Structure 1
Amino acid sequence: MRPDESVAGVRVLITGATSGLGRAMAEALADGGARVVITGRDESRAGHAAEQVDAGRGLVSGVGMDVRDERSVADGVERTFGLLGGLDVLVNNAGIGMRTVDPEFLTRPRGFWEVTPDGFRDVVDTNLTGYFLVARAVVSAFLATGAGRIVNISLNKETMVRKGFAPYGPSRAGAEALSRVMAADLRDHGVWVNVLLPGGATRTGMVPAGVPAEVRERMLDASVMAAPIRWLCSPAAEGVTDERIVARDFDEWLRVRRTDGSERR
């Protein structure tokens, strides 16, 4: 690792990080010496997960936060700033998947008309509105200091429009559009916004229990997010904004970036 890729001392908030991709990113950052706050809807679960990830290092804390609720977000962000003494990076990761509206979505996909209005709203409120609410709550501090980063977690574009994937696909498509707007709005303020996605199905709690073992084995491990999230939180990513980075292809993306001189622009 190059010196400018160190994350030691970087202050990071990761939403929805009690398991899955969020937890994998928290582990990767804490292993690099970053100070991390992870959130979950359940306060005790967030605290327990933080203790496990921290492993006695004093780097990771857990905070209860429901990203769908403006008051909960405000309280969670205030507690985060108190714990970390500020914030350098927000990782918008909290999300719910198709299992909440269709437990058999991989084996028997349903038409969008079979999704309940409440189920549709819950997914969109979490996966899209939640990104907006948390970013909105932290950005005033970023604007005040003229620095800060937002990483919005997403998924493959094919999944956004896949048969039977309403409302999950559209919620993530909306989050990507929001990310482009965030990047444009914040570019002149020294605040950088990027999208990060695994690059394929991952073995997380969003995968139905009935998926065959051979299919599950072909899925990406959540640790695929480790290298790119560390890089995005490091000094090496200063000035990088409005990028869509596929974790599975990160090594090649970074190699090309260094070869064609983009890193110096």
Structure 2
Amino acid sequence: MTEGLSGTTALVTGGTSGIGRATAVALAGLGAHVVLSGRDATRGEEVVSRIRASGGKADFVAADLTDAASARSVAARAREAGGHVDVLVNNAGIFPTGPTADIPEAEFDRVYATNVKVPFYLVAELGPEMAARGRGAIVNVSTMVATRGMAGMALYGSSKAAIELLTKAWAAEFGPSGVRVNAVSPGPTRTEGTAVFGDGLDELAAAGPAGRVAAPEEIAAAIAFLVTAESSFVQGAILPVDGGRLAV
């Protein structure tokens, strides 16, 4: 039985769809007051309504996370909703693909702003507060292509490789104060965002031992494990949740 999160507040970025939505629902089910952020207010309120209908606590914060200022704003609004933030799930991200030579500078900047700068400044804002209280958990959502070279994935993969290094650096920085920092590295997962890959997603998944695409709830379950006391001795880890793709 997983130990609950009663009395805690969890901020889940990109919580209106896919892995983020599944994570928000999972953490609320464990008793956390979930504050979820996203760009789509309609989808955000749908997630909040679903959680509240099940007896959970949730609030939605509309935000387009693109820079340090937007990260600080979301952190402040999460504090207002929950009093303080005990759990941070850095899930929001964008994943354009394409040949290196075809990536315009504006796209490069947008990917690194969303995938690296925003998590960096959310941790800068919330990590010290967790450390001051002597407890907290941070989970960053990475990808299997952060460590596996794939054509067309240079920009996205490199941004997530940065997140994996930051995970380890933050574990070293905040761990001695009682804040655990880890990451999950999902394999092919069926979400609204990955629908654009069509059959290619199934083909990629078929190469792994599991032989199938993951559901968002399977990734969310790993995130939930990493923010509960059951993973109390897990620190600075990159947990592959990829159907064994790492093994082949």
Q: What TM-score does the superposition give when structure 1 sets the normalisation length?
A: 0.80
Residue 139 of structure 1 is matched in structure 2 by 127
Change (3 A) 1:244 1:42: same
1:62-98 per-residue CA deviation (whole Å, 9 max, x = no partner) reads 1122332222222221111121121211011000112
Using the TM superposition, give the Cα deviation of residue 28 of structure 1 relative to its aligned residue in structure 2, in angstroms. Answer: 1.2
1:245 partnered with 2:216: no
Q: Secondary structure at the match of 1:66?
A: coil
Q: Distance in 1 between matches of 2:146 and 2:128?
A: 34
Note the 1:151-190 alignment, pairs <5 A.
Answer: 151-157=139-145, 160-190=148-178
- Is 1:205 matched with 2:205? no
Contact 1:7 1:32 in 2 (8 A): yes
SS of the residue corresponding to residue 119 of structure 1 reads helix
Alpha-carbon spacing, 1:69–1:182, altered in 2? closer, same or farther (3 Å): same
Summarize the Cα distance change of 1:27–1:95 in structure 2 as closer, same or farther, 3 Å threshold. same
Q: 2:147·2:161 contact (CA, 8 Å) conserved in 1?
A: no
Match of 1:32 among 30, 33, 36: 30
Q: Within 5 Å, which residues of 2 pair with 1:49-128?
A: 49-55=47-53, 57-98=55-96, 102=97, 110-128=98-116
Could you tell me which runs of 5 or more consecutive residues in structure 2 were left unpaired when the two chains were aligned: 206-211
1:210-245 superposed Cα distances (whole Å, 9 cap, x missing partner) = 613993893111111233222222222234211111
Deviation sequence 1:76-121 (CA, Å, 0-9, x none) = 21111121121211011000112xxx5xxxxxxx420111111111
Q: Matched residue of 1:196: which SS?
A: strand
User: Residues of 2 paired with 1:79 and 1:189: CA distance?
Assistant: 24
User: Is the alpha carbon distance of 1:221 and 1:97 closer, same or farther for their aligned partners in structure 2, counting shifts above 3 Å?
Assistant: same
Paired position in structure 1 for 2:209: none
User: Does the 8 A contact of 1:68 with 1:125 survive in 2?
Assistant: yes
SS of match in other structure, 2:139:
strand
Give the secondary-structure state (helix, strand or coil) at the position aligned to 1:9.
coil
Tell me the residue number matched to 1:219. 213
Conserved in 2, the CA contact under 8 Å of 1:160 and 1:170? no
* Between 147-156 and 206-215, the greater mean CA deviation after superposition: 206-215
Secondary structure at the counterpart of residue 207 of structure 1: helix
Q: Tell me how far apart the structure 1 counterparts of residues 75 and 201 of structure 2 sit (CA, whole Å).
A: 41
Count of residue pairs brought into register by the alignment: 237
**What is the distance in 2 between the residues matched to 1:236 and 1:169?**
30
Is contact 1:160–1:173 with CA below 8 Å preserved after alignment? no
Identity of aligned residues (%): 33
Alpha-carbon distance in 2 for matches of 1:130, 1:214:
27
The alignment partner of 1:167 has SS state of helix
Q: 1:206 to 1:46 in 2, by over 3 A?
A: same
Q: Distance in 2 between matches of 1:160 and 1:133?
A: 26
Amino acid at match of 2:191: T
**1:259 counterpart residue number:** none
Post-superposition offset of 1:159: 6.4
SS of residue matched to 2:235: coil
Distance in 2 of aligned mates of 1:118 and 1:157: 22
Q: TM-score, length-normalised on structure 2?
A: 0.85
Instruction: Establish whether residue 228 from structure 1 lines up as the match of residue 222 from structure 2.
Output: yes
- Structure 1: where are the runs of 5+ without partners? 103-109, 251-265
